[in-house]
Amino acid sequence: RSGKRERISRIYQMHANKQNPLETVGAGDICAAVGFKEIRTGDTLCAENAPIVLEQMTFPEPVIGLAVEPKTQKDLDKLGIALAKLAEEDPTFTVHTDEDSGQTVISGMGELHLDIIVDRLRREFGVEINQGAPQVNYKEALTQTVQHREVFKKQTGGRGKFADIIFEIGPAEDGKMGLTFVDEVKGGNIPKEFIPSVQKGFESAMANGALAGYQMDSMKVTLKDGSFHPVDSDQLSFEIAARNGYRAAAPKAGSVIMEPIMNVEVVTPEENMGDIIGDLNKRRGQITGMESKGTARVVKAKVPLSEMFGYVTVLRTISSGRATSSMEFSHFEEVPANLAKEIIEKASGKRKDIE
């Protein structure tokens, strides 16, 4: 990945908390090595005269977030360093600052993942933190393509601001992430130097969806036409026009909220199977398969993450502690209309509180 040289000073075989020094390791062996400067999870190490690159791991996007803050002011710097170290070694764990509220939000693959991160902060780094309730990482997406004209005009005496854009906005082609931007402006109606600003405006707007402020992963914008003022137009005017145009056009383009759906697998004694399936159905789950594993039964289902908080405790209660479950991210799916309304109302209430 980096093309850099690394020097390995020692290799060890790990036995719980004991380390046995080794001279060599062979194919299939697992070892710990000392002396690396800048390697990351997923990197391949090889001899310079025998280059080999193993297939890269693909890591899913985090699906659940948690706001954290240090209990004391003196822990503030320690928390930042600790979170950076944990994020470096675990690609499915991310840290960001919420622009609206200024909170530090840690995101991961599930409740258990974040519980372990919080526990490690305490044990390994000695940082005590307060944490908020877990929040699902929803996304927003467009379902239709619409055309929109946005004129941004500001006269303040002296030089003003002016930008006029006509664009088509809609969903990106399948599998394409980020912004697909197509410039179809003819005859210099918008000067070439302003086009990148329009693109930048749409790109930055995608971070805050028009419905509830959730990120939009992909969309396609085709810039059709527009006009400019020889004095008042500048790059910032066109960037603002693009951001305003996105907010106005996205709801018309069938903007929807998407939620993470998880693959859930429950291993249970046969007598509890009916209750467990009934409980998963109540959680908007879709049963995808059932099979036998010795005397136990395995139930497979796809369930929205928002319905899975505290599931382990409920499962123990239903099965008298005999059933176990595992969960991993599957895909994003549109939220049913009645729940989407609740999410939007909650998000607008949160915005008002911040204001």
CA dist 55 and 43 (Å) reads 9
Per the CB < 8 A criterion, the answer to whether 40 and 6 are in contact is: no
Q: Can you give the length of the chain in residues?
A: 355
- Phi and psi for 228 in degrees, rounded to 5? -140, 165
pLDDT for position 149: 92
Strands 146-154 and 161-170, sheet pairing: antiparallel
Q: Answer yes or no: is pLDDT of 353 > 60.
A: no
pLDDT in tens, 309-333: 888 889 999 999 899 998 888 989 9
Per the CB < 8 A criterion, the answer to whether 206 and 219 are in contact is: yes
355 — pLDDT class (breaks 50, 70, 90): low
The C-alpha angle 323, 329, 331, rounded to 5 degrees, equals 130
pLDDT for position 233: 85
pLDDT in tens, 13-68: 998 889 999 999 999 999 999 988 888 888 889 888 888 888 878 788 888 888 99
Strands 64-70 and 10-15, sheet pairing: unpaired
Which domains occur in the chain, in start order?
A: 1-57 (2.40.30.10), 64-137 (3.30.70.870), 141-254 (3.30.230.10), 258-337 (3.30.70.240)
pLDDT for position 285: 93
pLDDT for position 301: 95
Per the CB < 8 A criterion, the answer to whether 276 and 323 are in contact is: yes
Closest listed residue to residue 252, CA positions, set 178, 180, 177, 169:
169
pLDDT in tens, 199-258: 999 999 998 888 888 889 899 999 999 998 888 888 999 999 999 999 999 989 988 999
pLDDT for position 269: 92
Residue percentage of the chain with pLDDT more than 90: 47
What number is the average pLDDT over the span 330-352? 83
pLDDT in tens, 109-128: 888 899 999 999 999 999 99
pLDDT in tens, 77-98: 889 999 999 998 898 999 988 7
Q: Answer yes or no: is pLDDT of 351 > 60.
A: no
* Residue 135 or 10, more confident: 10
The C-alpha angle 74, 78, 81, rounded to 5 degrees, equals 155
